[in-house]
Amino acid sequence: MKLITAIIHPDRLDHVREALIQAHITRITVSRVAGHGRQEDIEYYRGQKIAPSLLPKVRLDIAVNDQFVDITVDTIINAAKHRADKVGEGMIGDGKIFITPLEECIRIRTNERGGTAV
């Protein structure tokens, strides 16, 4: 089992969520977080360009069994990437994906453990 954590741009949330559902990855936790990577985002505030230090991001947490890791990751990458001029080229700020080993998973309702609980 793996825990896939993706940090994406908020405006791609619905794109990613829909793509995941299309790929039959239907269990997901979404949180609003703030942070930054190398991105220098520019937003307008009362007509002034500002570069905020912390940028709003959306964090997705998805626990999957090993055979679903690739499809999940590919789907997120495909949907979260902003299409710049060239197809397949993303933009700075599109986000990151972290994959960590998942020791245990328990469904509270039934006490199921392990792969079936994911």
Partner 1 sequence: MVKKISALLLAMAAMMVHTTGWAAETVATDSGTTSWMLTSTALVLLMVPGLAMFYGGLVRTKNVLGTMMHSFASMVVIGVIWPTIGYALSFGPGILGGFVGWDPKLVLFQGIDEAIMPTHIPEYVFAMFQGKFAIITPALIAGAFAERVNFRGFLVFIALWSILVYSPICHWVWAADGFLFNLGPKGAIDFAGGTVVHISSGATALVSALFLGARRGYPRNVMHPSNLVMTLMGAGLLWVGWFGFNAGSAIASNLDTARALTVTQMAAAAGACTWMIIEFLHHGKGTSLGVASGILAGLVAITPAAGVVPPYGAFALGAIAALVCYLAILLKGKLGYDDSLDAFGVHGVGGIVGALALSFFIRPSWMAEASAKVAGGWGAWQQLGIQATAVGITVAYASAASLLLLFIVEKTIGLRIGENDEMSGLDHSMHGEQGYGLINPN
- Binding residues among 58-117 for partner 1 as defined by CB under 8 A: none
Binding residue (CB under 8 A) for partner 1 from 18, 40, 74, 89: 18
How many helices (H) and strands (E) the chain has is answered by: 2, 6
The strand pairing partners of 62, in sequence order, are: 4
- Residue identified by tokens 């080229």 is 89
CA distance linking residue 73 with residue 80, whole number of Å: 10
Which residue(s) pair with 34 in the sheet? 56
One residue of 38, 54, 85, 108 binding partner 1 per CB under 8 A: 54
* 48 contacts partner 1 (rule: CB under 8 A): no
Q: How far is the CB of 39 from partner 1 (least distance, A)?
A: 14
Q: Which of 15, 23, 28, 65 contacts partner 1 by CB under 8 A? A: 15
